[in-house]
Every structure is written in structure tokens, then in C-alpha cells.
Amino acid sequence: MSVLVVVEHDRGEMADASLEAFAFAGDLGAQLGVDVEALLIGASAGALADACAAHGAVTVHHTDHEALVDYGPEAYGFVVAAAVESLSPAAVVASGTDRGNEVLASAAARLDLPFVANCLSVTAESWEVTRVQWGGSLNEVAHLESATPVLSVAPHAVTSNPPADGSSASVQTLDVDLPDSVVATMIQDRIVLSEGVTLATAPVVVGGGRGVGSAEGFDVLEALAGRLGGVVGCSRAVTNNGWRPHSDQVGQTGTRIAPQLYIACGISGAIQHWVGAKAAKKILAINTDPAANMVVKADYAIIGDLFEVLPAITAEL
Ligand SMILES: Cc1cc2nc3c(=O)[nH]c(=O)nc-3n(C[C@H](O)[C@H](O)[C@H](O)COP(=O)(O)OP(=O)(O)OC[C@H]3O[C@@H](n4cnc5c(N)ncnc54)[C@H](O)[C@@H]3O)c2cc1C
């Protein structure tokens, strides 16, 4: 028996969220008294066995197939379901990302098992699970009854462990016969819309809200973000006004960010924005309203007009 981690990767590059899944699985495995094992899907994933070992996997199961050259939700879900049937793990864990949730939902449906998405913690003795609901605006405590618990880990809810030196895992091939029907939806090609630092991975995000007032108003945010090696984000009020594209939006219906520093300018801090920003290590709010939710919740605040404050910070830097 083991806790089986479904490793998320993109063409052989492991997603950071997988490291959080390993940390979660390690804790669950310790509660259950079982090892952590990993499932790698696709030829390009084979090289990740050592990284899996460094994050706690004692056995790595690798499935390759001529159709698995890139990601495909149904195919991955089929492989996970086949792995569960073959390996009978005590639980299955994956990252609570779009892909992780998609794959586990597909696998759970095939296996006719319940699937608990976006978990914060689990107590194995009672299978009490705390998970994020409603885009992060509430936490739900649930009791899970399942032959094989299938859980994804809420992004940024668990701190990943540093890799352990000198660990190795036994690598075993898991042959899966993929029917044509499940490889109907596979990534064939990619169009790169943005390269380099993205909103989700940037170390610094300078976010602007309705207080910025216009598309042109974002010039002062761009200047500061450029100086700090960061990117510009925004609130939904901004995307609703057409000042910035939706890809810049932070929040429940935008991107969840986790930078070292989030500078929120002219943003009131509505709950739907806050849930996308709260994983930032430090938050600096710049707002004319000292009672704004973002000001109250931030680590630091400057009460003032962003059009005076931001150029002053940029000039000082
Ligand atoms: C289902 C649903 C999903 C949603 N998803 C999201 C989401 O993903 N992301 C999101 O952001 N919102 C989301 N919203 C919208 C959210 O509820 C808020 O309406 C929105 O976040 C408000 O944006 P804002 O803070 O920019 O604007 P406001 O709430 O209008 O705040 C503007 C702030 O700017 C300050 N200000 C004004 N002028 C200046 C100045 N010159 N200098 C400094 N400060 C100034 C004001 O004091 C105020 O605090 C969602 C809403 C719903 C119902």
C-alpha cells in the first residue's frame, strides 16, 4: 500500500505544485504508515524519477505510450485509473491545479470514486478533509467515505519540502493499453502568448484596481514593475472596464498569485480579489482609503494617491 502521487509536468518539466503534492502525500503517508510512490505519465516524464525520489517517492511507476507525447486529460485520467486498479494505493494525491483536478476528476469518474478537490489538510484516522470551496472564500470540513481516497492539494496550501540528497527510487514500468477513444483530446500544438515571467510565477506583482482610473494610468505601475523585475496584474474592475486583458486579472475568476511581494494599488480588496492574492509572502497596499480591506489586511500600507506614491518609489529605486 502507498500514497500514490500523480506527478504534474509539462513536457518533462515538473510543476512546482507537484512538490506541494509530495509534501501533502508525505504527511498522509506518515499518518497511514505507508510509503509515498509516484506516477509519471509520458516519455518526457521518465527523467523526473530522481526528482520524485528526492521528494519522498520510494517507487516511481512510469507509463509511456506512443500517444503520450503531450498532455491529454482523458488519456492521463485513464492511466491514473489503470494505476489505481493495478497498484491498489491507500490514497491518490495530485496538485490542485487545472490539470491536476482535471486528471483526478477523470480518473475518479472512471473508478466510480468520490474526488475531493483543493484540500488544505486531511486526518487519515477519520478521513476528515478540510478543503477550499467557492474559489477560496470558504473552507469546508468534510468526512470522506471511499475505498480509495482521491485528493488534490489546494495550490500554495502546503509548503513543499527541500529535495533530499542521495535518495533514489525503484523505477517500474506500468504498461497501460490506451484505447483510441481516450486519446481523442491530446495537445497537438502550442501557441506561446507570453514568455518569461508570468503572473502566476512572478516574484513581484504590481496590481492595479479601479483607482488607476484608465488604461494609460497603468504606465506608472509598468514602470515600477519593470524596475523590480515583476509584472503588472489587476482587479476585475479593471478588466471589466477594458483597461487590461483578462490574463492580467488576479482573483477568484483570474489568476492565483504567490509572489514574494504584491503591491496592490487602488484596489479595495474585495474577497474575490483577496483569495487570488493572499498567498503572496508580503503585501503592500497603496490606497487613499485607510479603511479599505486591502489596507487592513496588508503587511504594509501607504495611505495616499497612487499617482504620487508610485513615481516616488520608482524614483527612489
Ligand atoms: C463571482 C465574482 C467573481 C469575481 N472575481 C473577481 C476576481 O477574480 N478578481 C477581482 O479583482 N475581482 C473579482 N470580482 C469583483 C470584486 O467583487 C470587486 O468588485 C473588484 O475586485 C473591485 O475591484 P477594485 O478593488 O479595483 O475596485 P473598487 O472596489 O472600486 O476599489 C477601488 C479602490 O481604489 C482606491 N483608490 C481610488 N483612487 C485612488 C488613488 N488615486 N490612489 C490610491 N487608491 C485609490 C479606493 O479607495 C478603493 O479602495 C468578482 C466578483 C464576483 C461577483
Domain boundaries, the chain: 2-183, 204-316
Cβ burial 286-296 (10 Å sphere, 16+ → b, else e): bbeeeebbbbe
Domains 2-183 and 204-316 share a fold: yes
Q: Is the minimum distance from the CB of 136 to ligand 1 under 6 angstroms?
A: no
Q: Which atom of ligand 1 is nearest to the CA of 250?
A: 9
Q: Is the minimum distance from the CB of 237 to ligand 1 under 6 angstroms?
A: yes
Q: Is the minimum distance from the CB of 208 to ligand 1 under 6 angstroms?
A: no
Q: Which atom of ligand 1 is nearest to the CA of 235?
A: 11
- What gap in Å lies between CA 246 and CA 98, rounded to an integer? 17
- What gap in Å lies between CA 160 and CA 153, rounded to an integer? 11
Q: Is the minimum distance from the CB of 270 to ligand 1 under 6 angstroms?
A: yes
For residue 286, the cross-strand partners are 265, 302
pTM: 0.75
For residue 173, the cross-strand partners are 62
Low-confidence spans in the chain with pLDDT less than 50: none
Gap from CA of 135 to ligand 1 centroid (Å): 16
Gap from CA of 238 to ligand 1 centroid (Å): 8
Nearest CA to ligand 1 atom 23: 237
Gap from CA of 116 to ligand 1 centroid (Å): 31
Q: What architecture does CATH give domain 2-183?
A: 3-Layer(aba) Sandwich (3.40)
Looking at residue 167, its pLDDT comes to 87
Looking at residue 194, its pLDDT comes to 64
Looking at residue 165, its pLDDT comes to 87
- The enclosing H or E element of 108 equals helix 98-111
- What is the 8-class DSSP label of residue 161? P
Q: What architecture does CATH give domain 204-316?
A: 3-Layer(aba) Sandwich (3.40)
Percent over 90 (pLDDT), the chain: 86
DSSP 24-77: HHHHHHHHHT-EEEEEEESGGGGGGHHHHHHTTEEEEEEE--TTTTS--HHHHH
Q: Which atom of ligand 1 is nearest to the CA of 208?
A: 26
Gap from CA of 241 to ligand 1 centroid (Å): 11
Q: Is the minimum distance from the CB of 209 to ligand 1 under 6 angstroms?
A: yes
Q: Is the minimum distance from the CB of 306 to ligand 1 under 6 angstroms?
A: yes
Rg of the chain taking only CA atoms, in angstroms: 21
For residue 62, the cross-strand partners are 40, 173
Q: Label residue 67 exposed, middle or buried (CB < 10 Å: 0-12, 13-18, 19+).
A: middle
Place of cell 490506451: 178
Gap from CA of 74 to ligand 1 centroid (Å): 37
